[in-house]
Structure 1
Amino acid sequence: MEIYGFCAPGLEPLYDTFAANFRECGDSGAAFAVRQHGELVVSLWAGSADRNGETPYTEDTLANVFSSSKGVLALLVLQQVAEGRLDLDRPVADYWPEFAAAGKAQVTARQLLCHRAGLVAFREKVADSLIYDWPGACAQVAATEPWWEPGSKQGYAPFLYGWSLGGLLERVAATGLLQLYRQGLGGTLDLDGGFGAVGHKSSRIADVGPLKQPLPELRENAVGRAIKEDRKGPVAMAFTNPMSLMMGTNSAEWRGALIPAANGHFSARDLATIYGDLAAEQPRTLPKVLVEEAGREQSRGRDAVLQAEVSFGCGYILSGRAADLRFGGEHGFGHPGAGGSVGFADPDRGLGCGYVTTRLGQSLFMDRRSVRLVEHLYQLL
């Protein structure tokens, strides 16, 4: 496997670790990037962007990063706070009156960001086509009843996170989410991709598919067990209602839709650039005080949906002790995506990191491929 790109002096051993992911872990198209103190110090890519192995993977290839999209959406929310248009502790219904339905009148944007709103899944069966209907999905979220008293416990919202916060953003800013992204992030940082897979700087789109040989897991699949135990419970409904949430991620319909919690298409360089900016002494995208708020613990506990101990800041998972949730240093924060992608910031080292892959593992957090790259990176720093 030929590896392309570069590593700054002292970081060259990362070539071998990246190559080992192809030899030993089933990668067939992937990229890894690191930006530190404003400089791109690692950018590696290899393999193919299509299932037939005919289209080379490039530095600006966009891959679906699934829930790594959430960290990008959270940044857009915090930008509206910086602009004075949004108060995290005011009820969402103050900006979006319809959202007050079904017991959500006092739910705040902060609760949505740190997964304490109880709005983890649609309670009633919805049509498979709903996820491709942005206004319809936002309206359905506004009408949905929380699964428990808002604020009473932590429960991750795999998909409704995007429609609830995205719908709020559009009402606060009085403009479309894609326009907000292009103005506040895509253009500012000269990013390759964005939400969905169309209309971005790069038009190189990778096909994604499962790993041919699943990796040994870093933790038990407690989510899968919870889904089997209660097919109508909040965990099962969060991931499978509708079933189209789990299928068709290479389709034109999926790529053309706006599903901001799950269908962001970014390069590894994009994620490293976004988080490298957040880790900088003087970020371009957000005032330092709000970067600190993003990385300040808002909620901690055994998550009712993820079935694991997780700590959340404002829109980000905070670095923890477990290898698959260790985002560099003690004050690191970021967001992994189902299948293996991850982006994170380490403010202590002024570092942003991104890894994307076309071969999807089973982990909801980081898997062995990104863990070994990050661990080796920190050994070399």
Structure 2
Amino acid sequence: MRNEIVVKGYTDPKFERIKDIFKENFKEFNEVGASFAVFLDNKFVIDIWGGYSNPEKTNLWKKDSIAKVYSTNKIVTSICALILVDKGLLDLDAPVARYWPEFAQAGKEKLLVRYLFSHSAGLPGFDEKITVEDLKDWDKIINILTKQKPWWEPGTKIGYHATTMYYLLGELVRKISGKTINMFFREEFAIPFNIDYHITLPEKFRTNRADMIPPKVTFSSFVWNDTDRNSFLFKVWSNPDLRNVHDNDPIWFDIETRGFGNARSVAKLGSIIANGGFLDGFQILTPETIAKSIEEQFFATDLVLDRKIRYGLGWGLKSDYHSLPSPNTAYWGGMGGSSLIMDLDNKMSIAYVMNKMRRQPLDET
């Protein structure tokens, strides 16, 4: 077994110390494989990777290695929906039912579009019992959410929409554009800008996928064994029951809530928000839409995560509870430790993607 960690990639001389810190991370936190990238002033100043892509430590983490990023994908989904806002095709203050008429039932007639971005729609989980296999059936999940009554009055409280956010925003994208969120992302970003990020994972990219390495006590086990069965956290994360579904199960390749990428691709996507809406010289979003996206929607205790969070449109915002680089900074992270920070004041996006997972959601953000 090889134990020496070799870090490869590019580091601007001004940030050379970061490479050493990245390498120390493998020793201090027993990382297995990871990538780290910083996009500053329209260019990469750091793009490094190291370690191994499998738990046996026989396959090196390479430049094109990608991993499942879990809820960091919420930022990508939100950017896709914000494009429609920017084009005037989606009004944040319109009822969802304007674009999705069937949604106007069970107390959701006046539920606003912006509530889907800010985890305040009251639909953080499913009333109907579902399986992980059901997550592949977009129409089935949409039918369930269409009929479901909110768990609280929409727009009055916040509770992390761990899985449902993807379907709710994704269905708006589909209703307006006629494209699935996967197709929309590929045509708007992945193909024209050659970004190695994927919503679902096509067969040809699976050889580059790093194996996720879950903790000994998985988050699903924690939910079922150590949480209050009446809590929102349990209600959200126990349905579907994932205790017997491994993080590397091929079923995740075909579920449109899952994103796969590396720090390079995640940081580049985050640069759209951090860099004034531009990507490779093309304006993707206007400054007005970006300004709206970092306006505080709620600053309260999240009923699911049981912590105080300041939400913008699709991401968290800087607060006393989340130490971030500068006042106008947005962020989010994924189960296990992947994360993306978008610093608008310094036009800087910072991304970390790894394969060894921590247990709690958002702990590493």
Cα distance in 2, alignment partners of residues 126 and 225 from structure 1: 17
1:224-256 deviations in whole A, cap 9, x for unaligned?
A: 689845314422111110113883321211112
Which residues of structure 1 form unaligned runs of 5+? Answer: 215-220, 371-381
TM-score (norm 2): 0.91
1:79 and 2:79 aligned? no
User: SS state of the match for residue 136, structure 1?
Assistant: helix
CA contact (8 A) 1:59 1:269 kept: no
> Which structure 2 residues correspond to residues 249-268 of structure 1 after superposition, within 5 A?
249-259=247-257, 263-268=258-263
Cα distance in 1, alignment partners of residues 158 and 224 from structure 2: 16
1:174 paired residue number: 178
User: SS state of the match for residue 70, structure 2?
Assistant: coil
> Which structure 2 residues correspond to residues 320-331 of structure 1 after superposition, within 5 A?
320-322=319-321, 325-331=322-328
1:95-115 deviations in whole A, cap 9, x for unaligned?
A: 112212221111111011011
CA contact (8 A) 1:26 1:213 kept: no
1:304 paired residue number: 303
Amino acid at match of 1:295: I
CA contact (8 A) 2:78 2:313 kept: yes
User: SS state of the match for residue 105, structure 2?
Assistant: helix
Which residues of structure 2 form unaligned runs of 5+? Answer: none
1:70 and 2:74 aligned? yes
Cα distance in 1, alignment partners of residues 21 and 215 from structure 2: 18
Cα distance in 2, alignment partners of residues 69 and 245 from structure 1: 22
User: SS state of the match for residue 175, structure 1?
Assistant: coil
1:270 paired residue number: 265
2:10 paired residue number: 6
Cα distance in 2, alignment partners of residues 282 and 254 from structure 1: 31
* CA distance 1:68–1:55, shift in 2 (3 Å): same
Cα distance in 2, alignment partners of residues 326 and 188 from structure 1: 35
1:103-155 deviations in whole A, cap 9, x for unaligned?
A: 11111110110111111111232234211212211222222221111112111
User: SS state of the match for residue 10, structure 2?
Assistant: strand
CA contact (8 A) 1:196 1:257 kept: yes
| Partner residue of 2:162 out of 154, 158, 172 | 158
1:145 paired residue number: 149
CA contact (8 A) 2:276 2:285 kept: no
1:239 paired residue number: 237
Cα distance in 2, alignment partners of residues 211 and 253 from structure 1: 20
| Partner residue of 2:124 out of 120, 124, 130 | 120
User: SS state of the match for residue 319, structure 2?
Assistant: coil
> Which structure 2 residues correspond to residues 1-381 of structure 1 after superposition, within 5 A?
1-198=5-202, 204-211=208-215, 228-244=226-242, 247-259=245-257, 263-281=258-276, 283=278, 284-322=283-321, 325-367=322-364
Cα distance in 2, alignment partners of residues 234 and 59 from structure 1: 40
CA contact (8 A) 1:38 1:277 kept: no
1:80, distance to aligned residue in structure 2 (A):
0.6
Cα distance in 1, alignment partners of residues 79 and 132 from structure 2: 29
CA contact (8 A) 1:279 1:352 kept: yes
Amino acid at match of 2:342: A
Cα distance in 2, alignment partners of residues 109 and 207 from structure 1: 36
1:48, distance to aligned residue in structure 2 (A):
1.3
Deviates more, 1:138-147 or 1:110-119: 138-147
- The percent of aligned pairs where both chains have the same amino acid is 28
User: SS state of the match for residue 47, structure 2?
Assistant: strand
Cα distance in 1, alignment partners of residues 131 and 223 from structure 2: 25
Amino acid at match of 1:352: S
1:161-197 deviations in whole A, cap 9, x for unaligned?
A: 1111111210011222222101222234321012122
Cα distance in 2, alignment partners of residues 315 and 245 from structure 1: 28
CA contact (8 A) 1:332 1:345 kept: yes
Amino acid at match of 1:248: H
CA contact (8 A) 2:315 2:331 kept: yes
CA contact (8 A) 1:249 1:255 kept: no
* CA distance 1:49–1:184, shift in 2 (3 Å): same
Deviates more, 1:313-322 or 1:156-165: 313-322
1:373 paired residue number: none
1:217 paired residue number: none
1:5, distance to aligned residue in structure 2 (A):
1.2
CA contact (8 A) 2:67 2:212 kept: yes
User: SS state of the match for residue 234, structure 2?
Assistant: helix
Q: RMSD of the TM alignment (CA)?
A: 2.4
CA contact (8 A) 1:77 1:169 kept: yes
1:285, distance to aligned residue in structure 2 (A):
2.0
Cα distance in 2, alignment partners of residues 106 and 160 from structure 1: 18
* CA distance 1:15–1:5, shift in 2 (3 Å): same
